[in-house]
Amino acid sequence: MRVATACSILACLTMPAWAQDHQMIPSADQVKWGPAPPVFPKGAEFAVLAGDPGKQDLFVIRLKLPANYKIPAHTHPTDENVTVISGLFNAGMGDKLDMAKGVAFKPGGFAAVPANARHFAWTTEPTIVEVSAMGPFAMTYVDPKDDPSK
């Protein structure tokens, strides 16, 4: 009994320090959204949950995408893990966005995309996805004309 009590007290004492050292977002309404970087087509929102996408380290971000949003075929220099939080996220592999060749991912759906794999995505309804990868984040469009930052 004393060991359990001591462990409970220790956990309570260390919890505030842990909270200060780590990013904690207890509920979705506390995610801080901002405009997505200019490499994404206009209309997306972006939130950094952990890490720094600009540094060579693990990061976790969320993208809030409006209905009928399209991300043309592109690559990333590192592996990318995508989890659908809400909505319907459609994605496929290839050199060109082809809505006939995609897979529809529902909430909880997951895709692991290897580095340098050519892929594309689109939505049919408002959608939120979470992406984890090693930084620095980079996105190169297969067709340079598709890059909205140029």
* Domain CATH number, residue 93: 2.60.120.10
- Number of domains making up the chain: 1
- Predicted confidence at residue 15, as pLDDT, reads 37
Q: What is the pLDDT along the chain (150 residues), one digit of tens a residue?
A: 444 433 333 333 333 443 345 678 778 888 999 999 999 999 999 999 999 999 999 999 999 999 999 999 999 999 999 999 999 999 999 999 999 999 999 999 999 999 999 999 999 999 999 999 999 999 999 999 999 999
User: In terms of Cα–Cα distance, which of 118, 136, 132, 9 is closest to 59?
Assistant: 132
The verdict on residue 104 lying in a domain is yes
Residue range(s) defining the domain that contains residue 136 = 29-146
Q: Is residue 123 part of a domain?
A: yes
Confirm whether 17 is domain-assigned: no
Contacts of 11 (CB under 8 A, 6+ apart): none
Q: Which two tokens stand for residue 46?
A: 């972006």
- Whether 86 is in a domain gets the answer yes
Bridge partner residues of 93 (DSSP): 119
SS3 of 68-88: CCEEEEEECCCCEEEEEEECC
Structure tokens at 141: 């469009």
Domain annotation covers residue 85: yes
Whether 1 is covered by a domain: the verdict is no
How many CB atoms neighbour CB 128 within 10 A? 21
Q: What length does the chain have?
A: 150
Residue 89 counted as domain residue: yes
pLDDT score of 22: 60
Q: What pLDDT does 26 receive?
A: 79
The reported pTM is 0.84
Residue 99 lies in a domain: yes
CA dihedral 50, 105, 36, 137 (to 10 degrees): 60
Query: What confidence score (pLDDT) does residue 23 get?
Result: 72
Picking from 62, 51, 56, 50, the residue whose alpha carbon sits closest to that of residue 77 is 56
